[in-house]
């Protein structure tokens, strides 16, 4: 955060005034539109998860899935990256359906297809604008992202490594058998999607729709502060921003999100104060989403599927 504040000039009077001018000139109309677009993004992402749960017959309606999705965002505010929220929403769906492994598998497939699509878009963006994005932090972020996805995919699709680890650990620690039994059920539930290529194809299509919505979200949020922002620039910048801010190195993405917006906006030729302003508004919108999840959690947590 200190680096971002320095880049935005907030440690001197001129930079502070420039940043305040950016905030003061914010458009109320685009601010309201930005909030509505943010809700639409959540609805699109919830639709993807809902369709995957329908494939497995988990019995939850769309609005319940939407509620669990924003409940996850509530926990994302103070847990590392978005993994913590994913665990919570899958747990709640599992408690409702009585099928924890299938619920967690639906979240895994929803998330994994999403990040694969994100990585593809980010790589395309970098290749299209290599002169701009030939930066260490961009290339390292992409490499770490790709390596993590490859490792996870290998462990899930090729069970030989998992079985070897399972055998060694259970031989040395007998109590670990119960944990591995649960992991076995999860892997079986994930593997069930292999026989449903149509569901996977729809998940990838929905992921593409989600990232188009995410680009519009960033673009409209940028227009709150600057009418000269290009949607083509945001089409290129958004996947890079999302890759950086999803690295699991910060609780609630604090600092990381602001760094991603500020520095990628700088690479795209915009001012650091604009990038920081957009990041702050995006964070405030995530707080609204989390607040909605916090309100809905006690309402939906006590209900179980009959």
The 3-state secondary structure of the chain reads CHHHHHHCCCCCHHHHHHHHHHHHCCCHHHHHHHHHHHHHHHHHHHHHHHHHHHHCCCCCCHHHHHHHHHHHHHHHCCCECCHHHHHHHHHHHHHHHCCHHHHHHHHHHHHHHHHHHHHHHHHHHHHHCHHHHCCHHHHHHHHHHHHHHHHHHHHHHCCHHHHHHHHHHHHHCHHHHHHHHHHHHHHHHHHHHHHCHHHHHHHHHHHHHHHHHHHHHHHHHHHCCCCCCCHHHHHHHHHHHHHHHCCCCCECCCCHHHHHHHHHHHHCCCCHHHHHHHHHHHHHHHHHHHHHHHHHHHHHCCCCCC
**Does 238 map to a domain?**
no
| Segments forming the whole domain that contains residue 54 | 29-207+286-300
Whether 55 is in a domain gets the answer yes
Task: Flag whether 113 is in a domain.
Answer: yes
Encoding tokens for residue 111?
């998330």
What is the tally of structural domains in the chain? 1
The per-residue pLDDT for 69 is 93
In a domain, 230, yes or no: no
CB 42 within 8 A of CB 69: yes
Give the pLDDT confidence score for residue 304 in this predicted structure: 57
Residue 281 lies in a domain: no
Q: State pTM to two decimals.
A: 0.88
Spacing of C-alpha 240 from chain mean position: 13
Residue 223 inside a domain? The answer is: no
Name the residue among 201, 220, 192, 199 with its Cα closest to residue 285.
Answer: 220
The answer to whether residue 75 sits within a structural domain is: yes
- Residue 40 inside a domain? The answer is yes
pLDDT of residue 305: 52
So what's the pLDDT on residue 277? 95
Q: Which pLDDT tens digits describe the chain residue by residue (306 residues)?
A: 899 999 988 999 998 999 999 999 999 999 999 999 999 999 999 999 999 999 888 888 999 999 999 999 898 887 665 667 888 899 999 999 888 889 999 999 999 999 999 999 999 999 988 888 999 999 999 999 899 889 888 888 788 888 888 888 988 888 888 888 888 888 888 888 888 888 899 999 999 999 999 999 999 999 999 989 999 999 999 999 999 988 877 777 788 999 999 999 999 999 899 999 999 999 999 999 989 999 988 887 655 555
Q: How far is residue 230 CA from its own chain's centroid?
A: 23
Integer Cα distance of 206 and 13 in angstroms: 46
- Report the phi/psi class of residue 305: left, alpha or beta, with left for phi > 0 and alpha for psi in -120 to 50: beta
d(CA 5, CA 246): 21
């Amino acid at each position: 955060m200190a680096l971002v504040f320095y880049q935005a000039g907030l440690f001197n009077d001129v930079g502070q005034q420039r940043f305040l001018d950016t905030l003061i000139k914010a458009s109320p109309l685009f601010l309201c539109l930005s909030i509505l677009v943010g809700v639409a993004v959540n609805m699109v992402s919830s639709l993807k998860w809902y369709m995957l749960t329908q494939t497995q017959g988990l019995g939850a309606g769309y609005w319940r899935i939407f509620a669990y999705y924003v409940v996850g965002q509530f926990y994302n505010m103070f847990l590392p990256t978005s993994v913590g929220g994913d665990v919570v929403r899958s747990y709640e769906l599992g408690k409702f359906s009585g099928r924890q492994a299938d619920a967690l598998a639906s979240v895994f497939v929803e998330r994994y297809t999403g990040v694969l699509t994100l990585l593809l878009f980010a790589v395309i963006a970098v290749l299209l604008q290599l002169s701009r994005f030939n930066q260490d932090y961009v290339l390292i972020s992409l490499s770490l992202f790709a390596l993590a996805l490859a490792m996870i995919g290998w462990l899930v699709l090729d069970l030989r490594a998992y079985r070897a680890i399972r055998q060694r650990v259970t031989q040395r620690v007998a109590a670990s058998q119960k944990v591995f039994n649960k992991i076995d059920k999860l892997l079986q539930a994930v593997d069930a999607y292999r026989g449903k290529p149509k569901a996977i194809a729809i998940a990838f299509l929905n992921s593409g729709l989600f990232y188009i919505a995410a680009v519009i979200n960033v673009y409209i949020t940028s227009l709150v502060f600057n009418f000269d922002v290009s949607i083509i620039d945001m089409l290129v910048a958004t996947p890079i921003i999302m890759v950086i801010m999803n690295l699991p190195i910060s609780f609630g993405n604090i600092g990381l999100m602001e760094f991603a917006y500020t520095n990628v906006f700088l690479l795209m030729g915009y001012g650091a104060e604009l990038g920081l302003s957009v990041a702050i508004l995006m964070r405030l919108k995530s707080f609204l989403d989390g607040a909605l999840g916090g309100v809905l959690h006690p309402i939906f947590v006590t209900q179980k599927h009959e």
